[in-house]
Amino acid sequence: MLSILIPVYNYDIRPFVLELVRQAHNAGIPFEIRCYDDASGCPFQNINRELEQMDAVTYKELPQNIGRSAIRNMLARDAEFPYLLFLDCDSFPEYDDFIARYIKCLEPGSLIYGGRTYEPLRPEKKELYLRWKYGTQREVFSVRQRVDNPYQSFQTNNFVIPKNLFLEHPLNETLQGYGHEDTQFGQDLMKHLIPIQHIDNPLRHLGLESSQDFLDKTLEGVKNLESLCSRGIDVSTVKLARVYLRIKKFGLAPLARWMYVLRKQQILRNLHSDEPSLRSFDLFKLGELLCVAYQRKRR
């Protein structure tokens, strides 16, 4: 019935997989768990190889990193069962009946999204605070909030979809690195009138990156967003893209870029501080998007 698919990168997934196996057995369903490692470092591969000994678990290591979209598409093609549950590796279920909650809602023509949460307490390490603050204030939505904006609030961290539907609408593998593969995927679902059902079944995000790693990943996402914009792909569900396109429409891009360059070091100091501002983070993303677009224009 259910193929549980986990792309793995530099994370100890053993506790997560053990919990999923326990819950799937309790739900009394046919299932498999596929964990494909996207060329992690040796320490994590050595740890996660223990999963090879577990029944119903397929653990596979890829010889080179193929990226977030490609590995999910590969997992989907290899999956045995008609429903696919995609999960981020640095996570853990909030509920003891996480699997059972999804099983109750399976529908042949729709995607089901369970949501995301974070640890309620601020992390003690300063370098983790920006990622935690952004996650708790910008990525966590109630079911009601998500239902009001079903496609905008979708993320790829935790969802079920029929295999045939996913294979008809795979993730875009031309996007490199981190970010916005879910944006185009959601837009594709909306274009083809494929409904997203939102339920209360979140995964808790555990793998907080340092501020510098998060900013580096954000820059990758900015580059992907600019690539989508430059190709004329509809990204109207992304607020950053809407602001960028408005600035560009009114001929203000050169001025806005110049102002960002002047303030960039000040913005970065704030983002690495004890009290990073999400407004500064928004300015960082917009400024970098303007710079990436300018660099593309010059090439």
Digit-coded pLDDT (tens) for 206-230: 989 999 999 999 999 999 888 888 8
CB atoms within 10 A of CB 76: 19
Cα distances (angstroms) measured from residue 166 to each of 4, 83, 194, 233, 237:
14, 9, 11, 20, 21
> Token pair for residue 5?
């698919």
Q: 177 with 223: CB under 8 angstroms?
A: yes
Residue type, 170: P
pLDDT at 154: 87
- Output the pTM of the full model: 0.92
> Which CATH number, 3.40.50.720, 3.90.550.10, 3.30.870.10, 2.60.40.10, labels domain 2-115+155-206?
3.90.550.10
Ranges under pLDDT 50 in the chain: none
Alpha-carbon distance of 241 to 228, in angstroms, equals 10
Q: 103 with 28: CB under 8 angstroms?
A: no
79: phi then psi, degrees, rounded to nearest 5: -60, 145
pLDDT at 248: 92
pLDDT at 96: 97
pLDDT at 176: 65
**pLDDT digit string (tens) for 62-96?**
999 998 899 999 999 999 999 999 999 999 999 99
Instruction: Map out the domains of the chain as residue ranges.
Output: 2-115+155-206, 212-298
pLDDT at 277: 97
Give start and end residues of each alpha helix (H) in the chain. 14-27, 42-48, 68-78, 98-103, 129-134, 143-148, 163-168, 181-191, 211-230, 239-249, 253-271, 278-298
> Token pair for residue 63?
């010889």
For residue 97, the 8-state DSSP code is: T
